[in-house]
A and B are shown apart, each in its own frame.
Chain A
Amino acid sequence: MKLKKVVELLDANILNDCYSQDTEVLSACGCDLMSDVLAFVKDQALLLTGLVNPQVVRTAEMMDMKAIVFVRGKTPGEEIIELANEAGIAVLSTEHPLYHSCGVLYSEGLYK
């Protein structure tokens, strides 16, 4: 699924310059526990989380993830955006809660 579609489906805001509408995500992980994310081996993945701290970005970076969606209207601070910029990871935010966000992406074809 293209990031452009993720943004549309989740009415998401784009929070940094690493976003490219054509970036393709092949899988997604919705989780607030970082070690569960780290147990998940998928390529070109998207992380959806309600947790907001620098470890979210570092976790996504270790897993070579393409984008992070902060759910439930959580807005990350400057430090988090800066880390994501360095890692080349797109940062999005949505008002929708985690369950809803995952459900929408899943039903639109992001199954893995």
Chain B
Amino acid sequence: MNSFKVQYTIDGEDFSVAGEASRKLKKVLQSLGVDPQIIRKATVAMYEGEINMVIHADGGVIDAEITPEKIHLFLRDKGPGIPDIALAMTEGFSTASDNVRELGFGAGMGLPNMEKYTDYMNIITEIGVGTTIEMIVNTSLS
């Protein structure tokens, strides 16, 4: 397997399709024969990030690159940015509205889950400009 790249556009307006890109990546990884445990880690992390792009930003773009060694994810949005990353990373911290909570999100567990399931995560954010989250899940060494 050489390097494989896919890009997904995330619609920030339509919550009902939030998570579809992660489902698609899961199918791609399955077709490439990636280990199921690794697929779960990578797609759960991407799913949390994808949902965040819909509920906290206005959608965006996700780039995934799959190599024999790793799954590399870039999630970019042009949302409001994250004022305090350390606070946002705290389990239970959430600014989600009641509407979002009624949809089953807003536990404040998304970013901690993303960190837990990935081997590397980096957040670059600027208020009023947007947020880019880079995540890596290693595939060869587990």
Contact = CB atoms under 8 A, between A and B. Distances in A.
B22 to A, nearest CB: 6
Given A62-B26, A62-B47, A54 B107 contact: no
Contact of A59 (B20, B47, B116): B47
Secondary structure class of chain A's binding surface, majority of residues:
helix
Given A62-B44, A62-B47, A64-B36, A35 B18 contact: no
A58 B47 contact: yes
B113 A62 contact: no
A7 interface: no
Interface string B93-118: 00000000001111111101100100
B37 to A, nearest CB: 9
Contacts of A95: none
B130 to A, nearest CB: 22
B80 interface: no
Contacts of B110: 35, 38
A36 interface: yes
B16 interface: yes
Given A55-B51, A62-B40, A34 B105 contact: yes
Nearest to B105: A34
Interface of B: 16-20, 22-23, 26, 36, 40, 43-44, 47-48, 51, 103-110, 112-113, 116
Interface of A: 32-36, 38-39, 49, 51, 53-56, 58-59, 61-64, 79, 87
20 contacts: A32-B104, A33-B104, A33-B107, A34-B104, A35-B109, A36-B109, A38-B110, A38-B113, A51-B103, A51-B104, A53-B16, A54-B16, A54-B19, A55-B18, A62-B19, A62-B26, A62-B40, A64-B36, A79-B16, A87-B23
Q: Which 10 A-B pairs have the closest CB atoms?
A: A35-B109, A58-B19, A33-B107, A35-B107, A51-B104, A34-B104, A62-B44, A62-B47, A62-B43, A35-B110
